[in-house]
Chain A
Amino acid sequence: MLELFKPYTEELVKIVILLALISLAIAYLTWLERKVIGHIQSRLGPMRVGWHGLLQPIADGIKFIIKEDIIPAKADRFGFILAPLLAFIPAFIVFALIPFDGPQAFTVGGKTYSGYVADVDIALLFVMAITSICVLGLIVGGWASNSKYPLLGALRSVAQLVSYEIPMGLSVMGVVLMAGSLSLVRIVQAQERLGWWFFLPQLVGFVIYFICGVAETNRNPFDLPEAEAELVGGYHTEYSGFRFALFFLAEYANMITISAVAATLFLGGWLMPFPSLLAPYLSWVPGIVWFSLKVFAFLFLYLWFRGTFPRYRFDQLMGIMWKILLPVAIANILVTAGVMLYLNR
Chain B
Amino acid sequence: MTPVAQLVKKILFIDLFQGLAITIREMFTPAVTEQYPRQRSHVYERFRGEPRMGVDANGKTLCIACNLCAQVCPENCITVKREKNPETKKFELTGYVFDMRRCMFCGFCEEICPTDCIQLTPAYELARYDVRDFVLELPALERGMDKTHYRK
Contact partner of A308 (CB less than 8 A), chosen from B19, B28, B30, B35, is B19
| Closest-CB distance, A219 to chain B (whole angstroms) | 15
Give the contact-size bracket for chain A: 10 to 19
The residues of B that contact A307 with a CB separation of less than 8 Å are 23, 27
| Inter-chain contact A44/B31, CB cutoff 8 Å | yes
Q: 9 tightest A-B contacts by CB? A: A308-B23, A39-B27, A42-B32, A44-B31, A308-B19, A40-B23, A40-B27, A307-B23, A43-B33
Task: Give 30 CB contacts A-B under 8 Å.
Answer: A36-B27, A38-B31, A39-B26, A39-B27, A39-B28, A40-B23, A40-B24, A40-B26, A40-B27, A42-B26, A42-B29, A42-B30, A42-B31, A42-B33, A43-B31, A43-B32, A44-B31, A44-B33, A47-B35, A304-B20, A304-B23, A304-B24, A305-B20, A307-B23, A307-B27, A308-B16, A308-B19, A308-B20, A308-B22, A309-B16
Q: A42 CA to B33 CA in the complex, in Å? A: 7
Judge whether A9 is part of the interface by a CB distance below 8 angstroms: no
The residues of A that contact B24 with a CB separation of less than 8 Å are 40, 304
A-B contact count (CB 8 A): 37
The residues of A that contact B33 with a CB separation of less than 8 Å are 42-44
By a beta-carbon cutoff of 8 Å, the part of chain B in contact with chain A is 16, 19-20, 22-24, 26-33, 35
Q: A304 CA to B16 CA in the complex, in Å? A: 11
In the complex, the chain B residue whose C-beta lies closest to that of A48 is: B35
By a beta-carbon cutoff of 8 Å, the part of chain A in contact with chain B is 36, 38-44, 47, 304-305, 307-309
In the complex, the chain B residue whose C-beta lies closest to that of A211 is: B13
Q: A90 CA to B30 CA in the complex, in Å? A: 40
| Closest-CB distance, B93 to chain A (whole angstroms) | 47
The residues of B that contact A309 with a CB separation of less than 8 Å are 16, 19
The residues of B that contact A41 with a CB separation of less than 8 Å are 26
| Inter-chain contact B20/A39, CB cutoff 8 Å | no
| Closest-CB distance, A10 to chain B (whole angstroms) | 42
